[in-house]
Amino acid sequence: MPRLFLFVGADQGDWTVTSQRTLAGEGLAPVSAVTMLGTEAAPGSGTWALRGITSNERYVERAEKTQLLAVQEGLSRPQARCAALIPIRKTAAWWALTQDERRAVFEAQSHHTEIGLRYLPAIARRLHHCRDLGEAEPFDFLTWFEFAPEHTSAFDDLLAALRASPEWAYVDREVEVRLSR
């Protein structure tokens, strides 16, 4: 199973950009398409390339994992013609918290997993970590979402709920790229 993925923003690619906006911090150069590559391939002629690696879960506990596994679906469903790439970076204050403090913000205060569960199986998601790939990564996480067009408003609601949570006070860079194929 590949773990390292490259997201290339360019003039052409697998997914057509339908909107691109910056929610916090520095943006990304506007592109017309995004392609997700399953290996650390050469980024070629893209405008930008972001890399991230799937990893072990950092907050989810067994009872939550059991719930997630029971309902979540994978990427590449034929009906999932909409996608979103959301790179975020968290503040130094976040990374200085201890595990119990981060877990408290993530779930007890922000209900991150609980909110995500409400939108399953409609919204499929894969989280990629960047922070420990090297010293100079521009983001900490790249989240990739896929859903059918009729679930677009549910996806809007999911993002609104997460962004209104205490956890988002620790987000200092966020870009949202909406896509279709």
Q: Are 15 and 58 in contact (CB under 8 A)?
A: no
User: Rounded to the nearest whole angstrom, what is the least distance from the CB of residue 62 to a second copy in the complex?
Assistant: 5
111 binds a second copy (CB under 8 A): no
One of 45, 62, 76, 78 touching a second copy (CB under 8 A): 62
Q: Are 119 and 154 in contact (CB under 8 A)?
A: yes
Query: Considering CB under 8 A, how many residues would be counted as binding a second copy?
Result: 30
4 binds a second copy (CB under 8 A): yes
69 binds a second copy (CB under 8 A): no
101 binds a second copy (CB under 8 A): yes
Tokens linked to 6: 């490259």
45 binds a second copy (CB under 8 A): no
Q: Are 4 and 39 in contact (CB under 8 A)?
A: yes
114 binds a second copy (CB under 8 A): no
18 binds a second copy (CB under 8 A): no
First and final C-alpha spacing in the chain: 24
One of 129, 151, 173, 178 touching a second copy (CB under 8 A): 129
- Helix-strand-coil percent breakdown of the chain, rounded to 5? 30, 35, 40
Q: Are 130 and 141 in contact (CB under 8 A)?
A: yes
Give the three-state DSSP class for 50.
strand
CB nearer a second copy, residue 21 or residue 58: 58
Which residues contribute to the site for a second copy (CB under 8 A)?
Answer: 2-4, 40, 53, 55-62, 64-65, 95-103, 129, 131-135
